[in-house]
Amino acid sequence: MKNYDKYRIGYFAPPVNDYDWVKKDHIEKAPRWCSVDLRDGNQALIVPMNLEQKLEFFTYLCEIGFKEIEVGFPAASDTEFEFLRTLIEQDMIPDDVTVQVLTQSRRHIIEKTFESLIGAKHAVVHLYNSTSFAQRQQVFRKDKEEIIKIATDGAELMNEIAARYTDTDFEFEYSPESFTGTEPEFALEICNAVIDIWKPTPEHKVIINLPATVEMSMPHVFANQVEYMSKNLHSRDSVVLSLHPHNDRGTGVADAELGLLAGGDRIEGTLFGNGERTGNVDIVTLAMNMFTHGVDPGLDFSDMPRAVEMFEKFTDMTVDPRRPYCGSLVFAAFSGSHQDAIAKGMKWRAETDPSRWTVPYLPIDPHDVGRQYDGDVIRINSQSGKGGVAYIINRDHGFDIPKAMRAEVGYMMKGISDHTHEELSSDEIFDIFSREYVNFFSPLDITDATFSYFSSTKEEGENTVAVRMRVVIDGEVYNIDAEGNGRLDAVANGLKKTPYNFDYRFITYTEHAISTDSSSKAAAYICIADKDGHEYWGVGTQYDITLAAVNALVSALNRMNKKEHMVK
């Protein structure tokens, strides 16, 4: 990495240093969106889309809500030309959607571009030529005046040709390609020269597009460049200032957001940032960032899994699992502390104000983009915590594990995941939990228990409950009558009448209805301790809460005696 000294800053700061965009803290409204997936995105694919794919992708972009779609460079190839003609001739362009086409500033290309649009109701004709210092010096070897003439010649020709096609409502767009490597004063000069030729009005505006063809500066510098242009363009009230950020430095979204604060009105980009080199700005991320600030983005990503599916289908590319809002893992929390905070945040929201979303670690409600809490949010591996495991068991299976039990269950699941080096699914977690704790009936089982209650004349502390129960231990059956000052005490006293040694004491007991089960089973949780103070949990389920408690006690006793078999 000692070659850093061969690089130099290739961008130019504007000739002012006082900017208004730095005083703003959020974007107040969505820009005009223009998808360039079918042009910029398509030309970046290893295998470009065929006609059928482009037609289907165009239809999907309309479904999402794009009102401006750059459909290609029709003069560049027969495929591009045929695609546009098919859209027009088969009446596939909705009335509220405008197609956009790209053209270099060359007569035969401009003429063929207009020819491709015959019959279109609305169209943006996008003229460009490169203006950067490096391109002027190394590629074109032309001075500024010659570069300006390329742009103005094209602008004049577009005026002339458009006058012949009166059936189409044209909107003109100009891009000083490689704007980020162009001196701002020169970019302003060439854009104003084009504006003066097109003579826009507030009723019939032109688009001036500032492409970060190669992202060269930090985002705040790009914002300064945009604001300089915005404040100094001719006929500003008749100009739509458009931005076309690329992502060479990995800050395309930041460029776009700061550029909108600096005066941008419109964004050209692609779904998930597809495009040449490191791609265009990701419109999905931009739109969803606005959404999370309470701004209507004007695009519909409520079914994000389908957006991912369609993109991958058309481009043969994959969406990174950590890509914001859309990746398969962006809502997944494996960390114990994160899981605990999410679970508590979800509970707080349900108890207070469900209309507002403030859940820790989740900047957006997964439901708003078509994702589910089940399997998407709290997920269990060796890094997970007690809160996450308890949350999943409660959410998916209705068992509200007592707080004192959660650490034990959580560490059990972490240990299994650590040993297998695999994530545990919700069903796997519950299967392990059930096998270990729930209705554990071996070697001890109480197959029947009938309770009766004594008169209220009993003194406090005296036995108030009688039980008649059938006990099976290692295959031997015992029919026992016993009494106690409660149901579980009666059962415990009955067990002492068997020839086996049950040496334990109660620690805690809780119960609840299993809310997700329409049959309204009850769940009971019992913790007991052996003579050495080691604690053992058992869980029982039954339609009768009394019998659920008996099952929980039996489960706890069987777990206590797993290491040492019950002895007579």
Q: How far apart are CA 212 and CA 219, in angstroms?
A: 11
The number of angstroms, rounded, from the C-alpha of 463 to the middle of its chain's C-alpha atoms is 60
- Residues in the chain with pLDDT < 50? 565
Residue that has been written with the tokens 């945009």 in this structure: 226
155: domain CATH number is 3.20.20.70
How many Å apart are CA 363 and CA 361, to the nearest integer?
Answer: 6
Q: Both 500 and 387 in a single domain?
A: no
127 and 103 in contact (C-beta within 8 Å)? yes
User: Which tens digit of pLDDT belongs to each residue from 2-20?
Assistant: 888 888 889 999 998 889 9
381 assigned to a ligand binding site? no
Q: What is the C-alpha separation between 304 and 296, in angstroms, rounded?
A: 16
Residue 421: Cβ within 10 Å count: 8
pLDDT tens, 226-271? 999 999 999 999 999 999 999 999 999 999 999 999 999 999 999 9
Domain end position, chosen among 411, 436, 461: 436
290, 373: one domain: no
Tokens of 492: 């415990």
At residue 423, the pLDDT reads 80
Same domain, 144 and 271: yes
Q: Whose CA is closest to 284, among 252, 331, 262, 315?
A: 252
**What does the alpha-carbon distance between residue 367 and residue 304 come to, in Å, rounded to a whole number?**
10
Residues 52 and 142 occupy one common structural domain: yes
Q: Is residue 211 one of the residues assigned to a domain?
A: yes
Phi/psi for 6 (5° steps) reads -90, -5
Residue 278 contacts residue 42 (beta carbons within 8 Å): no
CA angle 267, 125, 113 (to 5 degrees): 135
Residue 568 has a pLDDT of 56
How much is the pTM?
0.77
**Three-class secondary structure of residue 383 per DSSP:** coil
Rg (CA), the chain: 35
* 389/524 same-domain check: no
Give pLDDT, residue 509: 92
Residue 51 falls inside a structural domain: yes
User: Is residue 326 assigned to a domain?
Assistant: no
Of 533, 105, 109, 41, give the one whose Cα is nearest residue 275: 41
472, 444 Cβ separation under 8 angstroms = yes
How far apart, in whole angstroms, are the C-alpha atoms of residue 261 and residue 269? 17
Alpha-helical (H) ranges within 363-510 are 386-397, 403-420, 426-437, 487-495
Q: What are phi and psi of 297, to 5 degrees?
A: -75, -15
Give the pLDDT confidence score for residue 425 in this predicted structure. 84
The number of distinct structural domains making up the chain is 3
User: 189 and 146, same structural domain?
Assistant: yes
Q: Is 246 annotated as a binding residue?
A: yes
Last residue of a domain, one of 315, 345, 377: 315
User: 């606005």: which residue's tokens?
Assistant: 290
Domain shared by 275 and 414, yes or no: no
Instruction: Return the CATH number at 470.
Output: 3.30.160.270
Which H or E run contains 142? none
Residues sharing a CB contact under 8 Å with residue 551, sequence separation 6 or more, in sequence order = 439, 441, 446, 524, 538, 539, 540, 541, 542
pLDDT at residue number 418: 81
Is 367 annotated as a binding-site member?
A: no
* 271 and 405 together in one domain: no
Structural domain range at position 124 = 2-315
Edge-first strand listing for the sheet containing 522-529? 505-513, 522-529, 535-542
Do 28 and 125 lie in one domain? The reply is yes
What does the pLDDT read at residue 376?
61
Looking at residue 15, the DSSP 8-state letter turns out to be: S
Q: Is residue 170 part of a domain?
A: yes
Q: How much is the pLDDT for 419?
A: 85
Q: What are phi and psi of 316, to 5 degrees?
A: 60, 30
Residue 534, annotated as binding a ligand:
no
